[in-house]
């Protein structure tokens, strides 16, 4: 079994045992036993929320308008992304546009593996930023925060850690639409801001420093164009190309050099670590006499520069790469979860925001509630369908392998 998945299971079981045996923990049944949450209430961070709300009211008031605007822009952006991705998934045989953010399961060519320790740090940070921001804006509007705490969210298995703040719901419901929108949008907005701040650090400082320690070797298939003659060959994303037309290639430059000697409509063999593919090249868009494969390639392996290894040793170089991957996943987790939280689904921040939007337009509670429930249900079903292949790999496939 993958070590990251094993650590995830051990972590989930340990946290579940703690919550079940704790007198402070409560079970929140959403669609039990398939979807549920164990909540552990504390008072952590409440005083700091009060201090920030009292110290910076002008800045927070201005950010409230920005937060609401970004929230609705993000909501309609993620709805479009989800529906477009669902169409491609169901009718164009494309991969699912969403993926469970769990260690050991995210395997996409060109994207670093999500390890358990990167995951736990990224999840802790995004949850803390998200819920703390909800709390600050609630206190800004004099809404009492009853408690804060951490939880474990279960989709069949209890393996997703989370955090929460618990506002006074009566006070929240009686507040103005603007106040409710400020509080609900604050969490996703904080995640999106964190994502972009992390991205700038990653792109301008962390990644260049870490990448300067590496040499890139090998040729990996990163993508196929719509007109690629390899589309029908069975070649998969992530395969490493060893030779083209019986000529070994050890890097992207050699691959491009060999392709420059191949004409259009020429049958060639492409050897990867899995198989040897025979394909007829098509015409290059810029030169009809040149052969064209229509694929995107990148390095299949990264190795540390020998002079740096001799000078500093392996540990500091490995640490730089580890930190680079951490910043990448902090960015991805905050952006992905922040936008996902804006979907107009009942249990998400976007759900309440969408209902408030409908009610402010229609002034009819029954119509708004009916529309809200329909939209929420449809999107929830679409998400379940998109996650079915991953649920199969996570829960069903291991059982099949166990008994066959």
Domain boundaries, the chain: 3-212+317-403, 215-304
DSSP SS3 for 206:
helix
Q: Does the structure show a pLDDT above 80 at 347?
A: yes
The percent of residues in the chain predicted with pLDDT above 90, rounded, is 64
What is the CATH code of the structural domain delimited by 215-304? 2.30.42.10
Q: Are 137 and 60 in contact (CB under 8 A)?
A: yes
Among residues 115, 112, 125, 107, the alpha carbon closest in space to that of 206 is found at: 112
DSSP of 370-392: HHHHHHHHHHHHHHHHHHHHHHI
Q: What is the pTM of this model?
A: 0.85
pLDDT, tens digit (0-9, with 9 covering 90-100), for 22-38: 777 787 777 777 777 88
CA distances from 81 to 91, 98, 276 (A): 15, 10, 36
Q: Does the structure show a pLDDT above 80 at 338?
A: yes
Q: What is the pLDDT of residue 335?
A: 97
Q: What is the pLDDT of residue 182?
A: 97
Q: Does the structure show a pLDDT above 70 at 1?
A: no
- Distance (Å, rounded) from C-alpha 324 to C-alpha 333? 14
């Amino acid at each position: 079994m993958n070590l990251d998945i094993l650590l995830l299971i051990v972590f989930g079981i340990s946290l579940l045992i703690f919550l079940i045996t704790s007198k402070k923990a409560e079970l929140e049944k959403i669609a039990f036993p398939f979807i549920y949450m164990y909540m552990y209430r504390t008072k952590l961070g409440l005083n700091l929320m009060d201090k920030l709300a009292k110290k910076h009211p002008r800045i927070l008031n201005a950010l409230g308008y920005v937060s609401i605007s970004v929230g609705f822009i993000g909501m309609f952006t993620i709805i479009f992304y989800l529906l477009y991705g669902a169409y491609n998934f169901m009718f164009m045989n494309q991969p699912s546009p969403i993926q469970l953010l769990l260690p050991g399961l995210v395997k996409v060519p060109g994207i670093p593996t999500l390890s358990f320790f990167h995951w736990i740090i990224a999840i802790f940070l995004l949850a803390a930023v998200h819920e703390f921001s909800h709390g600050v804006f609630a206190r800004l509007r004099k809404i009492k925060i009853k408690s804060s705490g951490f939880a474990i969210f279960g989709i069949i298995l209890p393996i997703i850690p989370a955090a929460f703040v618990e506002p006074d719901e009566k006070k929240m419901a009686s507040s103005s639409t603007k106040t409710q929108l400020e509080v609900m949008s604050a969490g996703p907005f904080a995640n999106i801001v964190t994502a972009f701040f992390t991205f700038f650090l990653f792109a301008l400082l962390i990644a260049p420093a870490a990448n300067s320690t590496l040499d890139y070797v090998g040729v990996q298939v990163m993508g196929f164009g719509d007109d690629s003659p390899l589309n029908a060959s069975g070649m998969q994303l992530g395969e490493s190309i060893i030779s083209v037309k019986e000529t070994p290639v050890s890097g992207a430059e050699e691959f491009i050099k060999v392709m420059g000697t191949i004409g259009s409509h020429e049958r060639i063999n492409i050897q990867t670590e899995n198989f040897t593919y025979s394909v007829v090249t098509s015409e290059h868009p810029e030169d009809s006499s040149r052969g064209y494969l229509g694929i995107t390639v990148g390095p299949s392996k990264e190795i540390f520069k020998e002079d740096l290894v001799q000078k500093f040793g392996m540990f500091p170089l490995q640490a730089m790469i580890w930190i680079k991957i951490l910043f990448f996943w902090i960015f991805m987790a905050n952006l992905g979860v922040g936008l996902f939280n804006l979907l107009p689904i009942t249990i998400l921040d976007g759900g309440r925001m969408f209902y408030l939007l409908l009610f402010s337009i229609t002034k009819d509670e029954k119509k708004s509630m009916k529309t809200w429930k329909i939209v929420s249900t449809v999107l929830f079903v679409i998400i379940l369908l998109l996650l079915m292949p991953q649920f199969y790999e996570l829960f069903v496939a291991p059982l099949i392998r166990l008994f066959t």
